[in-house]
């Protein structure tokens, strides 16, 4: 069964909803230029409050910090301080950076027309545990979160050898097709389940989960939608 990562969480309500819906991984973005940025202090507070919800779910939910060109020692400190399990390196980090952080770190690869896939994999060795990589769309000057589709053909080549997370422009409408074509270990979504950047839409989260897992979630009555959300 494919895993689902809801990324760019910025508040407890959305994080708890993600766990309740059935997310396997939750992502918190520490890149200051991202519209989904969260401070380590706010993330730590959410994780502490979320512990009860995760325990009640009876499932293993992995917590992922998303970093862009942070010094390795800062990544390690934030992981420990916030109680996170994995570090997703979405910048221009090197193999040495991954080694200094340790087995919790995995690399995001941005696939574009000019990306040499083999060179990227050779430059960044895969983790021994899943996920080995995250594959995202390559947009010059941007470090993910673009809403653009990744190159599924190239991603399928990676998925044939390594357990990867597929990101890049996934939505409730296209995630089932992406899974069928790429056969990834998991899928990663942020903008495709949002009402505004950094604020998730519970109905979109449910629809994404249904499409990704090939099942129906228990949709709850959330009352009428208002202009205030």
End-to-end CA distance of the chain: 33
Q: From CA 205, how far away is CA 211, in angstroms rounded?
A: 10
Q: Is the distance from CB of 205 to CB of 17 less than 8 angstroms?
A: yes
- Tokens 């979405």 sit on residue: 90
Q: From CA 106, how far away is CA 101, in angstroms rounded?
A: 10
Catalytic member of 136, 151, 188, 201: 136
Q: Kindly state whether residue 53 falls inside one of the protein's structural domains.
A: yes
201 is catalytic: no
Q: Kindly state whether residue 218 falls inside one of the protein's structural domains.
A: no
Q: Kindly state whether residue 62 falls inside one of the protein's structural domains.
A: yes
Per-residue pLDDT tens digits for 146-205: 667 888 988 998 898 899 999 999 999 999 999 999 999 999 999 999 999 999 999 999
Catalytic member of 7, 24, 97, 201: 7
Q: Kindly state whether residue 80 falls inside one of the protein's structural domains.
A: yes
List the beta bridge partners of residue 89: 67, 107
Q: Kindly state whether residue 117 falls inside one of the protein's structural domains.
A: yes
Q: Kindly state whether residue 226 falls inside one of the protein's structural domains.
A: no
Range of the domain at 83: 3-213
pLDDT at residue number 101: 96
In 3D, which of 101, 106, 97, 155 has the Cα closest to residue 128? Answer: 106
7 is catalytic: yes
For residue 134, give both structure tokens: 């995250």
Phi, psi dihedrals of residue 37, rounded to the nearest 5°:
-60, 140
Per-residue pLDDT tens digits for 186-195: 999 999 999 9
Q: Kindly state whether residue 225 falls inside one of the protein's structural domains.
A: no
Parallel/antiparallel/unpaired status of strands 194-196 and 199-200: antiparallel
User: How many structural domains is the chain composed of?
Assistant: 1
Q: Kindly state whether residue 229 falls inside one of the protein's structural domains.
A: no
Q: Enter the DSSP assignment of 150.
A: P
Residue stretches of the chain with pLDDT short of 50: 113-114, 218-229
CATH number, residue 199: 3.20.20.70
pLDDT at residue number 115: 53
pLDDT at residue number 58: 83
């Amino acid at each position: 069964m494919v895993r689902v990562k809801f990324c760019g969480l910025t508040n407890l309500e959305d994080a708890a909803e993600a766990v309740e819906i059935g997310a396997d991984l939750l992502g918190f973005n520490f890149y200051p230029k991202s519209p989904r940025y969260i401070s380590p202090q706010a993330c730590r507070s959410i994780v502490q409050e979320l512990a009860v919800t995760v325990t009640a779910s009876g499932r293993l939910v992995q917590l992922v910090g998303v970093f862009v060109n942070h010094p390795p020692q800062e990544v390690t400190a934030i992981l420990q301080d916030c109680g996170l399990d994995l570090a997703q390196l979405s910048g221009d980090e090197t193999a040495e950076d991954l080694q200094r952080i340790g087995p919790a770190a995995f690399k995001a690869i941005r696939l574009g027309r000019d990306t040499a896939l083999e060179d990227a994999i050779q430059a960044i060795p895969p983790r021994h545990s899943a996920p080995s990589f995250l594959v995202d769309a390559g947009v010059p000057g941007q470090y993910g979160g673009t809403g653009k589709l990744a190159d599924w053909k190239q991603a399928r080549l990676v998925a044939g050898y390594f357990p990867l997370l597929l990101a890049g422009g996934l939505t409730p409408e296209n995630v089932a097709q992406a899974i069928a074509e790429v056969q990834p270990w998991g899928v990663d979504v942020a903008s495709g389940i949002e009402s505004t950047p950094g604020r998730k839409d519970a109905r979109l989260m449910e629809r994404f989960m249904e499409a990704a897992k090939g099942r129906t979630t228990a949709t709850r009555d959330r009352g009428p939608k208002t202009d205030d959300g």
